[in-house]
Structure 1
């Protein structure tokens, strides 16, 4: 597939986004940037959030996990264990957290911590969101930028850092003015194109191999690709860990995340916002299953086109399985782009690239907007500054927006230097460390009636919990008879934070 042709489609797609941004950001102000003037259509928000929650990592990494190995067996559809947890978590967000946010009329969800515990808890919560979202968003961005670099821009001799900078400038340009008001519409467009790419690829592979969906599932099952439930209690992939962990990941990464909730609370009423959540929940579960089906089909397609599994030994003497195509290991994150761009018709290659960048932009633009909002509102207190005019506030907001773009670039280059492209497991692990203190803070506020002193000890406890979790995770197998900590790391982190806060808390004063 011609790299210049693919690049021309990337540029054309970006021009389309700029047109949408220009139309939607006219007459925008700070309120439209932060919360879309609380006038967003719930159906658009629900559909657009599918793209935001899935991102390029789901698009590339989830299909790649199906034929990868966990021990001596394929991972198969094991990721769907986490998806079941997501379904439960979204219900908690819809019927526990959203009513709280609407009742308190919040612009930033971390204002809840201020009203409940004071300024230190509030700023600590906002700080952990900023760390969490920056790390998660840049990890997702890195994977997609790497694919674009490896398969398109590398042939032009463009360095990776330049590719990353160009992509970030694209995102900056179309979110600079409109913020949430713009990304509600751009996310809808991008989600449509991403899902179209998913469906077209599935249909093409089925037609190429002359099989129906039922026949494909039967073949995948025969090869061991469709196993969902892991029944080994000591394994990090044990199904109860995955389901419960997935539920708390959703509560934390969605319900306690300013980026995701910023779009929800931009809907006019609580009832419409809850309809948005339920709709999104059902669509998201179906789409995740379709990505797993695509993963199985991609492995079948690769094996039918000359790829084969082979055993390899690394420098440390450990053996691992590879899927080799033309002498290159294409297992995991390499699978989908390699098949789409080198082993499928040109039209599929074009659809893949458009779908891939459609998966990239919703997660990145929303993160950049939400981080700008949180820093301006929560850290700088912009909404409380009566001494600043609308124009002065806008100038500060644009400066912060530019600054986060630069921070994104630095983080992407760090991931590039690390060089690990099997990114989805890494994102879930990082989320366990960074979102755990947020989970503990909000859980203590909602489940306990006790109060906290306004002290730096709150921040110390929130910082100490992830450190303790790290040592537990590194030594669990040795300390606990082979037990491996997996996705439940987030819950352990939240519990450590909760009990740490409990140790410094006081009984609430009784109203006279």
Structure 2
């Protein structure tokens, strides 16, 4: 694609985002940045969350991964659906009842300051890595589509990408992001629909014929029952459920958007409608994956070594200019819809959890918040460049593998806090939160030798959370103090 067309498309896209930012950031303050003054319409949040949840990982990796693991990812998605229901029914009511800005404030009230800081730290670590993975994808596409033509190095591409996010989020924060996510979701879904339509026209198929060809294809197999396989249904389903609970319900980024709704009822309505839409969207991506492999075979296009490169290769080199533009807008929107909210949530968590903004009334808060925002932008830059050097596997697999380790302690902490009444030695919690992922990694590494050929998939998250829960139980002290005061125990 002509690099000047790429520049025009990306430039126009960001002008739209900046315009939305200016409209939504009028009169903005720290409350606007952190909570959008709790006035977001639930349907706007629900639609925007589709793009934020799918991200560049789904946009590129899921269609490409179809060639390696067929539709087995849909087993994981079915677990996601149940996980969203758990978040809506269990976690959202608790967060609204406590009137939380940072959801990790629950851990301070339940266990103490060390648990609070530990929970927030693991979120900061997890979300930084996740946002870097997602931005790495879009930076790679922009590098191929535009910056390589002018000999501009990758690190400059990354710097420009992050700078653009900073420009439209530094004032309005989460309020701006709720509305920009709506635009980004529109571009993301439109790109997939247009690509599918192009391939159907290429083959001369109706929608019904395409459905039949997809379902008859070997890569459309969904269910796997072999217990040793990493794609086993039960492993995938329960891993999908728990990953959703931690990466949505225990994640400041995703919950911060939900907590901008007017009340818990609207937040729950948002979550339920979003979950149904999410399943439909992922189904489209999986179907697109089969169609892309069919299209590549029919046009004699070699399958790239990295399956993440399949969709970009075909859309920008083998299809029409309009599809190339739609793809470019889609991948940009997909990556930025998750990366921009990640930057805002990282800033929120650090300001609220470590700088105690909620307890301060001084005039330096606004200046410090902007400095923290810049600081996390710089951190993201270095993590993305590092990932460029070391990554050698499918991004979708790498992302959830990392999340399985870093979100596990959060799963154990919240589960122990909500389903037991024990107190815990608060100073031991940071040690346990480091030990659980390390033990999980060791078990995962030698699982085939120790467990008769069993291989862990995404369910490593469940093991990690269980080990954290066990550690907390071993360091329990007594029945929860507040329960004693209420019941006279």
Bin of the TM-score, shorter chain as denominator length: over 0.9
Relative distance call for 1:486 and 1:451 in structure 2 (3 A) is same
Q: CA deviation at 1:421?
A: 5.4
Tell me which of 126, 132, 152 is aligned to 1:132: 126
Q: Deviations over 1:361-394 (max 9, x none)?
A: 11000000000000000011121124x12xx101
**Which residue of structure 2 lines up, in the alignment, with residue 357 of structure 1?**
332
Q: Which residue of 1 aligns with 2:98?
A: 104
Query: How far apart are the structure 2 equivalents of 1:211 and 1:12?
Result: 34
Compute the displacement of 1:331 (Å).
Answer: 5.3
User: Aligned pair 1:118/2:107, yes or no?
Assistant: no
**Residues 216-231 of structure 1: matches in 2 within 5 Å?**
216-231=210-225
Following superposition, the deviation at residue 330 of structure 1 comes to: 5.5
Unmatched segments (≥5 aa) in structure 2:
none
Output one character per residue of 1:9-41: Cα deviation in whole Å (capped at 9) or x when no partner: 111111111111011101000000001001111
> 1:454 offset after TM fit, Å?
2.9
Task: Give the equivalent residue in structure 2 for 1:19.
Answer: 19
Q: Which has the higher helix share?
A: 2
Q: How does 1:299-318 map to 2 (within 5 A)?
A: 299-307=293-301
Partner of 1:253: 247
Query: Mean alpha-carbon deviation: is it higher for 76-85 or for 4-13?
Result: 4-13
- Runs ≥4 in structure 1, deviation > 4 angstroms? none
The question of whether the paired residues in 2 share the 8 Å contact of 1:333 and 1:421 is answered with no
Deviation at 1:180, TM superposition (A): 0.7
Q: Which residue of 1 aligns with 2:34?
A: 34
State how far apart, in whole Å, the 2-side matches of 1:463 and 1:431 are.
14
Which position in structure 2 is the counterpart of 1:379? Answer: 354
- 1:233 aligned counterpart, secondary structure: coil
- The yes-or-no answer on 1:298 pairing with 2:292 is yes
Root-mean-square deviation (CA, aligned residues, Å) is 1.1
Please give the per-residue CA displacement for 1:443-475, whole angstroms capped at 9, x wherever unaligned: 0000001112332x1100001000001111110
The superposition leaves residues 243-299 of structure 1 with CA deviations (integer Å, 9 ceiling, x where unpaired) of 000000000000000010000011011110000000100000000000000111111
TM-aligned CA deviation for residue 497 of structure 1:
0.3
2:343 to 356, 365, 368: 368
- Return the alpha-carbon distance in structure 1 between the equivalents of residues 116 and 447 of structure 2: 33
- Please name the residue that 1:8 is paired with: 8
Whole-angstrom distance in 2 between the partners of 1:219 and 1:180: 43
Distance in 2, matches of 1:221 and 1:258, equals 38
Gaps in structure 1 of 5+ consecutive residues: 69-74, 308-323
Partner residue, 1:393:
365
What are the within-5 Å matches in structure 2 for residues 345-494 of structure 1? 345-386=320-361, 388-389=362-363, 392-420=364-392, 422-455=394-427, 457-494=428-465
- State how far apart, in whole Å, the 1-side matches of 2:214 and 2:414 are: 42
Offset at 1:207? 1.4
Name the SS for the 1:506 alignment partner: strand
1:241, 1:486 within 8 Å by CA — same for their partners in 2? yes
| Corresponding position: 1:496 with 2:471 | no
Tell me the distance in 1 between the aligned counterparts of 2:217 and 2:246: 35
Q: Does the CA contact (< 8 Å) of 1:113 and 1:442 recur in 2?
A: yes
What is the rounded CA distance, in whole Å, between the counterparts of 2:66 and 2:210 in structure 1? 14
CA distance in 1, matches of 2:317, 2:306: 15
Of 5-14 and 262-271, deviating more is 5-14
CA distance in 1, matches of 2:449, 2:207: 44
Aligned-residue offset at 1:223 = 3.2
Cα distance in 2, alignment partners of residues 422 and 139 from structure 1: 11
Structure 1 length as normaliser, TM-score? 0.93
Q: Is the 8 A contact 2:444 2:455 kept in 1?
A: yes
SS of the residue corresponding to residue 225 of structure 1 reads helix
Distance between the aligned counterparts of 1:115 and 1:56, measured in 2? Answer: 36
8 Å CA contact 1:143–1:421 kept in 2: the answer is no
Moved more, 442-451 or 199-208: 199-208
Q: Partner of 1:50 in structure 2?
A: 50
Paired residue for 1:339?
314
SS of alignment partner, residue 191 of structure 1: helix
C-alpha contact 1:35 1:262 (8 A) present in aligned 2: yes
What is aligned with 2:154? 160
- For normalisation by structure 2, the TM-score amounts to 0.97
Q: Which position in structure 1 is the counterpart of 2:230?
A: 236
1:415 Cα offset (Å): 0.6
1:312 equivalent in structure 2: none
State the shift of 1:62 in Å.
0.4
Instruction: Report if the CA contact (8 A) 2:306-2:394 is conserved.
Output: no
Q: Check conservation: 1:48, 1:191, Cα contact below 8 A.
A: yes
Give 1:270's aligned residue.
Answer: 264
Q: Distance in 1 between matches of 2:420 and 2:212?
A: 50
1:419 Cα offset (Å): 3.6
Q: How far apart in 2 are the matches of 1:331 and 1:203?
A: 25
SS at match of 2:57: helix
Deviation at 1:47, TM superposition (A): 0.5
The aligned runs of 1:168-207 (5 Å cut-off) are 168-207=162-201
